[in-house]
Each structure stands twice: as C-alpha cells, then as structure tokens.
Amino acid sequence: GKIFVGNLPYGATKEKVVELFSRFGPVRDVIWIRSHDHPERNKGFCFVYYGSSSPGACALKAAEVDGVEFEGKRLAIKLDDGRKSRQKGEEEYGDCSDEPAAQRFRETMEIDAGNWHKIVNAFQVIDKPVLREYGLLVDFYARHGDKVAARATFEAMRASHIKPNVHIYTSLIHAYAEARDMEGAVACTEEMLSQGIQLNEAVFCSIISGYASAGNNEAAEHWFEKFKAENLVPGGIVYNSIVQAYCQAGNMETVEALLAQMEEEGFQGNLGLYTTVLNGFAEIRDEEKCLSFFHRLKVSPQAGNMAKALDILEEMDKHGVSPNKMIYAMIMDGYARGGDFTAAFKVWEDMVSAGLKPDIVIYNILVHAFCKAGRMDKALGVLENIEANRLLPTIETYTSILDGYVKGGNIQKALEVFDRIKTAGLRPGVVSYNSLLSGLAKARQMENARLMLNEMLANGVVPSERIYTALTEGYARTGDVEKAFGVFQRMKKENLAIDIVAYGALLKACCNSGAMHGAAEVFQQITDAGLKHNQITYCTMLDGAYARAGRVEEAEELVSAMERDGTKPDTLIYNSLINAYGVSGRHEDMEALLAKMVKSSSKQTKPDIGTYNTLIQVYAQAGFIPRAEELFQGLARLKLVPDATTWTALM
C-alpha cells in the first residue's frame, strides 16, 4: 500500500498531498522528505502509505493517475513495493523466513515499532527464526538500550547455529553503548575481530557516541583517531559523535576545526549537532560565536536569548518567509525552558492560526510546558487533544505528565501514569524510572522504591547515577544509614561516577541517624575523591555533626576551613553556627555573630526568619523570655514574617 510521488512542487504541503490521494482510499501516513537547505520546503518527493483492509488496491488506483497535474507540475507516481527495503534487509541479515509467524513479526516491526509487548510476543511464536528475524529483534533492543535482552537474543541465535554478521554485531554494540556499558561495547568489538569481522563506520560511531554520552571524552577522541588510522573516511554521523564529545569537554577550538573539515568534505550538520555546538559556546560564554551559530540555525532559543530569536522571526516576516513547524516548535521550547509558559502557549495559538497542524513533537512541548508550570489539568487536556487527533502519545508525552505529578507530590497519580505507559505498549526508559524513583524516595516510600529498582533491572534498564543518588537521599530522610551505605557501595561496584550530590546524600544519612563517626569519614572521602565541598556539604556537617551537639570549636574550625577553601559562608552556615553557640550556652558569641550578619552588605549573609527562629528557641529554652520577646517584636521592623516554628518557640 505504498506509492512514490515525484516531481512534487517545492511549496506543496503534506495536507494537500493527503487531500489529493485520499480520493483513492484512506491515507495512513505520508513520509515527507524535507530539503536540507530550506527545511520549510519539501525535497521534491514523498511516500504515501494507504490503510484500510486492501491498501494494495488503493495504491494501484493511485498509480494509474501517473502524470496528473498538481499545482502546476505533473506528478510522477509509481508503486513502491518495498523491493529496495527488502534488498537492503537481505544484504544486512539474509533471506527472510517463509513462516507466516515470521512474516507477522516483520509486519509488527513496521506497523507497531514502539509497542514492546507486541514485538516480543510476535517473535516468540516463530518456530525457527532465521538471521533476519534475530537481527531485527537485536536491533530493536539496541535502539531501546536494553543490552541484557539484546545479548540474550544474540546468544539464542548462536545457540541455533546461526553465525552473526557485521550488522548484528553493530546492533549489539549499539545496545551496550546506549546502556553506557562501554566496557561491554569494546569487548564486542574484540569478539568481532576474533571472528574475522572488520569494524565498520557504524561500529566506530556507536563507540565514539557512547563514550561522548558517558562524558569520557578522552576515550571518544582515542576511538576517533583509531577510526582514521583504519583509513576509513569519516561520515556525517561520526563527525556528529566526536563533535559532541569535544563540546562536552569545552574544547571548542577543535570543534570549529572539525566543523570546517566537515563542510569542506560536503557533510551538512543536522539541527542537533548545531544545537550542541551552540550550547558548547554558551558554556564558555563566547557570545560572538553563539550568535554566529544562532544565525546559522535561523532560530535557536536554546541560546537563551528569546529577544534575538523574535527579531529574526520579524526579519523573516518582512521578507515574506513564513515560519515552519520546526521554527514554531523551537520558539515554544525556548519559552518553556525559560519558564514563560504563557508565551509558549501564545506561540502555539499563532501556529494554529497560521494553518499549521501540530504534530506529536509540538504537542509534547506543550505538555511539557504545562507540567513544568504545575498545570496538570491543562496537560491532560492536551493529551486528550492528541488522542482526539488520532496521534499516538509517545514515551516523552507520558514521562512529562509522570514527572509533573511527581514534582507536585502526587505519587499515586504518577504510578497510574506509569501503568498507563506499559498498557500503551511503550517501554519505560531510564528517565521515567528516574522520575518515579525520585518521587518515591522523597515520599519516603523506600520499599516501593526498592521494588521499582528491581523491576527496572529485570527489564534491562540500566540505572543512572541520579537514580542511586535519589535512593541514597531517600534512605537519608528515613535515617537508614546502613541502606544508604549499601546503595553507595553499589554505585562504586558498578563504576558509576559519584558526584558531590551523592556524597552529600550519604553525609546527610549519617548526620540524621547520629552516626557522627561515619559522617566524618564521608566528609573526608569527598576531599580524597578530589571533589570540592559545596555549601550543602559544609552546612550538613556543621549543623548535623557539630552544631546540634554544641561542639563549638569544631564548628568554628569548619567555617574557617570553608573560608580557606574559597567558599564563602552564607546565612544557612551562620544559622548553624548560631545554633552551636546557643546549645553550648555561649550567648555573647551568638549575639556578636547576629550583629555581624545585620551589618553585612551582602544579601547572602543577611539574617532571615531561620536566624531569628534559632535565637528565639535558644533564649526560650534558656529561660531568657524578655530577649526572646524583643527578637520577636523586631521581626516586623526587619520585614520578616513569623512562621509556625516562630510561634511554637515563642509559646
């Protein structure tokens, strides 16, 4: 049910093409090929897919009008029976199985490419899968980053005495790279070479991209050099991967040289590449280079300058150039990222008024914007709109809604959305699990969080550092230091990068449980790991280990060490020190520090309601009621509003 449509007018729209070909039967989809240089135009051809119970008959009818005039041009309409696709598949994986079950599996792969359960079930009923079926399933798992299922399928294939070829190895390597298991990915390349199979461009691309995503830029560069040493000519995808690595490392001079080399060799960077480069220049605060790439992209709100983006829109309007959906999408996304959700929705309305039909990408931006703003009712309204327009919500749609509920503290609704993801045949990824696990940990539902982690591992989704950190923070809240240390040791065992946030969570667990010796050890481990202490780790140690116990000398020494380290104490740090003075009965030192804070010219060290709450509590407990009342009466003059803690202390 597929036809090729050539000699298409460049200004033709997808909607007009659907209208033309719908006279021959229901159009299921149109694959719209856009021009690289002028994304608002088509490239002169497209593919039309028919639905219904007899799509082949519809396609035959459409092909009969070959040469029909359409918007001033005669269309070239040909049947596309998938011969090229089959030839490509046979080159990669060999002949297809003649089994009806194998044919249904291949159809499921094309029609329900995102439905995890349907695809796996369709494969399992094949009596004797051949190389092609195994290859398609390994590739499917690879695209979802499921290295466990990809490897299991690969080994099942070998157990059936089917020899893997370069394309299946490439998919397997991609699965390991997507799961950030670069050691496993490299082991696969060694396995390939031992079988006499040479590494191709796709293999190098997966390895380079995998190391870049994992932040190991040195390894990414090593494999790029290795790629060139094999006398292979870099393609656009390889360039994209290595450019991403250099951008993450902040090596923008090398990025510019690579981009120049790319363009000399005729490779056109895609939108994602230029956005990465733009963000790279933004990180090093090179405004001139940012603007250069901003203009190259036509509009790029990711640069964080919406005013300039809107100026370019006005310039386009002056020249009679209408923005396309991609430009509207980027402007909407720019506003949403900046927190201006009203403006994002206004752009949506402008786009609809301009006669452009939103696609799932644009709907997802709108869902994300409403969820970030906490407007879950509006987000659900957009979801209903998606389904009413016969579009399929994606994993990104549901993950935004799930995350919105988590941030709003509605864990039950988040769990319902998570179940809905699985019911829709979608496979939750690391982002979905990350959001839900974080929510469960914040709600102190640690047993549910543990079960969710086990489910995640069973489904072959590799937990990120952020997930383990969220679990550590959850155990810290409940004061379960033993389990917090267990999660921490697991991170070390899996060679995950442990950052200052993870150490901070473990430190908090020690302090909350009263394990002061453990807190001191963790605090020292941060320094030993070559990490720089921040306000949070200093404050946690000061308040949890020293202030509450009235260990004033150690508290003062920690503040001095903090200043020597180049970290300026803020109000929170001084509040903890005031508490230490109060617990030990050193009221004069407490008053002296308050005076210092009041006289401070920096907003970062001015006393806040927390400062006065601490002072009122100390004086109330010590029986100095007049001073506690005096401090309370002074709050109005300082424009500080009493909270529940203030009233409780005073009473």
The whole-angstrom separation of Cα 175 and Cα 172 is 5
Residue with the larger pLDDT of the pair 238 and 603 = 603
Model pLDDT, residue 290: 61
Euclidean distance between CA atoms 568 and 570, whole angstroms:
6
Cβ proximity of 431 and 461 under 8 Å: no
Alpha carbons 108 and 651: distance in angstroms, whole number: 69
Cα 541–547–552 angle (5° rounding)? Answer: 110
Q: How confident is the model at residue 315 (pLDDT cuts 50, 70, 90)?
A: low
pLDDT of residue 305: 47
Look at residues 168, 248, 239, 181 and name the one whose alpha carbon lies nearest to residue 210: 181
591 pLDDT band (50/70/90 cuts)? very high
Q: What is the DSSP letter of 33?
A: E
The model's confidence at residue 89, banded by pLDDT at 50, 70 and 90, is very low
321-338: pLDDT as tens digits: 555 666 666 677 777 666
Structure tokens at 253: 């001079």
Q: What per-residue confidence (pLDDT) applies to 28?
A: 86
Phi and psi at residue 442, in whole multiples of 5°?
A: -65, -35
Q: Is the pLDDT of residue 190 over 50?
A: yes
Q: Where are the domains of the chain?
A: 2-81, 298-383
pLDDT of 593 reads: 92
Per the structure block, which two tokens stand in for 616?
């009122």
Strands (E), 543-599: none
Say how far apart CA 617 and CA 615 lie, in whole Å: 5
The answer to whether the CB of 249 falls within 8 A of the CB of 271 is no
Single out the residue of 113, 1, 88, 123 nearest to residue 50, CA to CA: 1
What pLDDT was estimated at residue 95? 52
How high is the pLDDT of residue 413?
A: 93
Q: Which pLDDT score is estimated for 301?
A: 41
Cα gap 226→190, rounded to integer Å? 14
Q: Are 148 and 460 in contact (CB under 8 A)?
A: yes
The predicted pLDDT at position 236 comes to 55
C-alpha to C-alpha distance for 183 and 23, rounded to whole angstroms = 55
Give the span between the Cα atoms of 546 and 117, in whole angstroms.
54
Q: Which residue has the tokens 């269309």?
A: 75
Q: Could you tell me which of 194, 177, 1 has the C-alpha nearest to residue 80?
A: 1
Neighbours of 110 (CB within 10 A): 11
- Assigned CATH topology for domain 2-81: Alpha-Beta Plaits (3.30.70)
Whole-angstrom Cα distance, residue 562 to residue 542? 11
Mean pLDDT, residues 537-556 taken together: 85
Percent of the chain scoring above 90 in pLDDT: 11
- The edge-to-edge listing of strands for the beta sheet with 27-34 is 27-34, 42-50, 2-6, 76-79
Token pair recorded at residue 506: 């473990």
Q: Residue 586: helix, strand or coil by DSSP?
A: coil
Taking alpha carbons only, the member of 508, 559, 511 closest to residue 536 is 508
pLDDT at 300: 39
Among 78-82, 88-92, 309-313, 338-342, name the one with the lowest average pLDDT. Answer: 88-92
40: nearest Cα among 328, 278, 274, 289 = 328
pLDDT average, residue stretch 466-482? 85
Name the residue with tokens 């298991």. Answer: 181
For residue 463, name the pLDDT band (cuts at 50, 70, 90). Answer: confident
302 pLDDT band (50/70/90 cuts)? very low
Answer whether residue 84 shows pLDDT above 50.
no
**Model confidence at 392, in pLDDT bands (50, 70, 90)?**
confident
Q: What is the pLDDT of residue 348?
A: 74
Question: What is the distance between the terminal CA atoms of the chain, rounded to a whole angstrom?
Answer: 79
Instruction: Write down the pTM of the prediction.
Output: 0.51
* pLDDT the model gives residue 110: 66
> Which helix (DSSP H) or strand (DSSP E) does residue 43 occupy?
strand 42-50
C-beta neighbour count of 182 within 10 angstroms? 21
- The tokens describing 561, both together, are 């060490």
pLDDT over 70 (residue 94): no
Q: What is the pLDDT of residue 398?
A: 92
- 2-81 matches 298-383 in fold: no
Q: Residue 296's pLDDT is what?
A: 58
C-alpha–C-alpha distance, residues 211 and 599, integer Å: 51
Confidence band (pLDDT; 50, 70, 90) for 511? Answer: confident
- How many Cα atoms sit within 13 Å of 482 on the Cβ side? 0
Among residues 105, 94, 103, 106, the alpha carbon closest in space to that of 163 is found at 94
**What is the CB-side half-sphere exposure of residue 282 using CA atoms within 13 A?**
15
What is the mean predicted confidence (pLDDT) over 419-424? 86
Strand 2-6 with 42-50, pairing: antiparallel
The pLDDT of residue 186 is: 92
Whether the Cβ atoms of residue 336 and residue 367 lie closer than 8 Å to each other = no
Model pLDDT, residue 90: 45
Q: What's the mean pLDDT in 626-636?
A: 90
CB 470 within 8 A of CB 438: yes
Average pLDDT on 173-178 reads: 88
The pLDDT score that the predictor gives to residue 430 is 82
Q: Evaluate the CA torsion angle 157, 159, 162, 168 in order and state its sign.
A: positive
**298-383: CATH homologous superfamily?**
Tetratricopeptide repeat domain (1.25.40.10)
pLDDT score recorded for residue 279: 67
- 69 vs 616, more confident: 616
pLDDT, mean of residues 343-358: 75
Least confidently predicted of 28-37, 237-246, 268-277, 302-311 = 302-311
Rounded-to-integer distance, Cα 612 and Cα 596, Å? 14
* Paired strand residues for 69: 74
Per-residue pLDDT at 472 exceeds 80: yes
User: Nearest CA to 10 among 34, 48, 42?
Assistant: 42
Residue 116 has pLDDT above 50, yes or no: yes
Question: Would you state the pLDDT for residue 401?
Answer: 93
Q: Are 363 and 382 in contact (CB under 8 A)?
A: yes
* Distances in whole angstroms, Cα of residue 627 to Cα of each of 611, 618, 619, 646: 14, 10, 7, 14
Give the tokens for residue 530: 């070559």
User: Alpha-carbon Rg of the chain, whole angstroms?
Assistant: 30
Q: Which residues pair with 74 in a beta bridge?
A: 69
